[in-house]
Amino acid sequence: MKQQSIKFGFQARYFQLGELNEHTQNIVFVLHGYGQQAKYFIRKFEVLKNENTCVIAPEGLSRFYLKGFSGRVGATWMTKEERLTDIANYVNYLNSIYSNVLACCSSSNQMNVTLLGFSQGAATVSRWAVNGFISFNRLILWAGIFPPDMDFEKAANIVESKEIHYVYGTQDPFITPERLSEMNLLSSKMQVSPIITTFSGVHDIDQTVLRELF
């Protein structure tokens, strides 16, 4: 048996909260976690909406039923199967959104771009930041960490002048002591000293912290 691959045109959705126009100064790309949908995830960022800020929520390119063969649907950015292809595909998808979004804004504005990834989206947004050849100001990893298989030398050069944040809830079952140790190790490899923000809560976007960050 021989495996083949093919490239073809692909249409995918994303969601927008706020307007893109001559008044836009802040763009926030928010990447959801495993099993979520962008149209629901973006609602968590309603508090950021104003005439100068636009929130963009891309969605994982693979969707599936969360239980059985019907009912609620979730999305994922990748699995272990054909992972490198999935990574390349979502980086291209995210780059296309980025170009489309920035083209809608006034070229005279100094744009502040924040990349935020939640849970599985933290690894996704990290890979995009490093491999997407995009301009951004801040990278926020919320309830997630840098992927351990990154090219850390390349990543260090890209993020050296960026503002890096780690945010997590102190009752988050996924942020274990082992996970925190890994987080510190990966930060060292990246040669970054992230701003760490914690809150009393679980695996979710805390509205109070969100307001403080923006």
In tens, the pLDDT along 135-170 reads 999 999 999 999 999 898 999 999 888 999 999 999
Q: How far, CA to CA in Å, does 149 sit from each of 49, 88, 189, 202?
A: 35, 14, 11, 26
Residue 3 lies in a domain: no
Lookup result for tokens 């040669």: 191
Q: Residues 48-58: what's their mean pLDDT?
A: 95
CATH number of the CATH domain containing 34: 3.40.50.1820
The pLDDT of residue 178 is above 70: yes
Residue 92 lies in a domain: yes
- CA gap 97, 76 in Å, rounded: 18
Q: Report how many domains make up the chain.
A: 1
Q: Please tell me the pTM assigned to this model.
A: 0.95
Residue 7 lies in a domain: no
Q: Which residue has the higher pLDDT, 17 or 68?
A: 17
Residue 4 lies in a domain: no
Residue 37 lies in a domain: yes
Q: With pLDDT > 70 as the criterion, what percentage of the chain qualifies?
A: 98
What pLDDT is stored for residue 108 in this prediction?
61
Q: What is the DSSP letter of 31?
A: E
Position 107 confidence tier, pLDDT thresholds 50, 70, 90: low
Residues 6+ apart with CB under 8 A from 207: 44, 47
Residue 9 lies in a domain: no
Task: Determine the structural domain holding residue 102 and report its residue range.
Answer: 14-213
Q: How far, CA to CA in Å, does 123 sit from each of 87, 102, 141, 146?
A: 10, 23, 8, 5
